[in-house]
Amino acid sequence: METLEIGVIMMSETETAIFAGGCFWCMVQPFETLPGIQKVLSGYTGGTVPNPTYEQVKSQTTGHTEAVKIWFDPQVISYDKLVSLYWQQTDPTDASGQFQDRGDNYRPVIFVNSPAQRAVAEASRQALQDREQFDQPIVTKIEEVQPFYVAEERHQEFYKKNPRVYAEQEAGGRADFIAKNWKN
């Protein structure tokens, strides 16, 4: 647990989750709008280059993938609920990227920071596999958390700053896939 300072308000009992699910622009809004979410930042993780830039990550030479780091109040929203929502934002059968975004820098990964998070993520992945909802196996990896490097400001809250480009990105297969495969 950590303490997160947002403005002048100190929030305690904060936990974090890190999810990679393709383009980070499309991974912020689904989480940011939930009760109990304190902050969502786009960034890079899983690679070997410290403090990478967007251009470096996009070149697929850093080992990093685009991801979001989520600060949340576990008394309001559980990690289990966040993992469930994560599955519904991704194609868990595609290890080579997500939707129109191809390459290792768009690979789907759940980065866990504790044995409890690992247990939740692994159980959730197994339950999804057992449902046989998809024709292909679930290939999303579950890995230990690594340093998370916050992306440049232009990538933060992209869906608010650039709604037209964000809509185009969502139309690149993600929205249709979600509608087809995640009817609640």
Tell me the mean pLDDT in the region 165-179: 69
Q: What confidence category does residue 169 fall into, taking pLDDT thresholds of 50, 70 and 90?
A: low
Cite the active site residues: 23
Across 131-135, 137-141, 164-168, the highest mean pLDDT is recorded for 137-141
DSSP 16-33: EEEEE-S-THHHHHHHHT
Q: What confidence category does residue 184 fall into, taking pLDDT thresholds of 50, 70 and 90?
A: low
Whether residue 6 is predicted with pLDDT greater than 60 in this model: the reply is: no
Helix (H) or strand (E) holding 184: none
> pLDDT tens-digit profile of 149-166?
998 777 677 666 666 765
Q: How many angstroms separate the CA atoms of 113 and 94, rounded?
A: 23
Domains of the chain: 2-175 (3.30.1060.10)
Give the distance, in angstroms, between the CA of residue 97 and the centroid of all CA atoms in the same chain. Answer: 13
What whole-number percentage of the chain has pLDDT above 90?
A: 58
Q: How many angstroms separate the CA atoms of 45 and 43, rounded?
A: 7
Token representation of residue 104 = 């290792």
| pLDDT score recorded for residue 175 | 78
Q: What confidence category does residue 107 fall into, taking pLDDT thresholds of 50, 70 and 90?
A: very high
